[in-house]
Amino acid sequence: MLAARHIMDDEDEHQQEPLIPQVHATFEKADSFGHVIIVPSTMAVIVQTLEKFVCGNISVRYSQLESTESIEGEFDEDEQLYSAANIGASRRKYPDTDIPLYTISGAGSAGAPVLAVVVPHLTNPIAEKAVASQIAVLAPSAKSWIALSPSVSALSKADKLNDIGLLALNSEGHPGFEKVDADAIMDATTEVFGEIFDPKAKASALKKLSSVVRKINSSSTSGMYL
């Protein structure tokens, strides 16, 4: 569902063991969702312009970084300063994260609600997979799952997936921080909104999104960072 997209960094000389995140989901169960939309944070504007309300949250925490207290024993100022600096760097690289879950009401010809998730860039691939697993169980009866991805590398795994459609957008830049072509966003969203909205609602949602996207893109001729 969510293709792992990360750059292999040089091994952290200070990292003694892999950071295993604690990932938990809180969810107010609604009626069966008709569709699920998963959007990367680089294209959050798609969800931001829709009428919605928060129906849950996915939290990512790192208990290993919650305390800077040294292990009991002889006090070593240099060791404590080293440990504090190491933990501080890890906290910046692996911050606590909250991912809101949204319900888009009144979408679809039958008025079935839509679950929308804006997934931030997660530098820890373990956290990325854990978040994907949490999302996967939220709407077991959904008619369709739609994942927008600015990374064409996701297409390399398409033959390994069943009943999942991928929309790859024209983009460039480091994974998670891509510069996305505005026309590609509108083209992809036209397909998505056509799936979840009736014609009138689709036209209204696209008009609102277009005005925001074009405004963001007005200072660039090739693309935009969202």
List, as one string, the DSSP characters of 108-173.
STT---EEEEEEPP-S-HHHHHHHHHHHHTT-TT-SEEEEEES-GGGGGGGGG-SS-EEEEPPEES
**pLDDT above 80 (res 118):** yes
Structure confidence by residue, pLDDT tens digits, 77-99? 555 555 666 777 778 888 899 99
Find residue 36's DSSP bridge partners: 115, 145
Structure confidence by residue, pLDDT tens digits, 35-79? 999 998 888 999 999 999 999 999 999 988 875 444 444 455 555
Q: Terminal CA-to-CA distance of the chain, rounded, Å? A: 22
Phi-psi category of 163—alpha, beta or left, where left has phi over 0 and alpha has psi -120 to 50?
Answer: left
Q: What does the pLDDT read at residue 34? A: 86
Q: How many CB atoms lie within 10 A of CB 152?
A: 12
- Classified as helix, coil or strand, 210 is helix
Sheet of strand 114-119, all strands in order from the earlier edge strand to the far edge: 22-27, 53-61, 97-104, 114-119, 35-40, 144-149, 165-168
In sequence order, the 6+-apart residues with CB closer than 8 A to the CB of 1 are 38, 132, 135, 136, 145, 147, 161, 164
User: What is the model's pTM?
Assistant: 0.73
Rg (CA), the chain: 20
Give the mean model confidence (pLDDT) for residues 116-121: 92
Q: What does the pLDDT read at residue 70? A: 46
**pLDDT above 70 (res 1):** no
Q: What does the pLDDT read at residue 33? A: 87
Positive or negative, the Cα torsion across 138, 144, 150, 154? positive
User: What single DSSP character describes residue 213?
Assistant: H
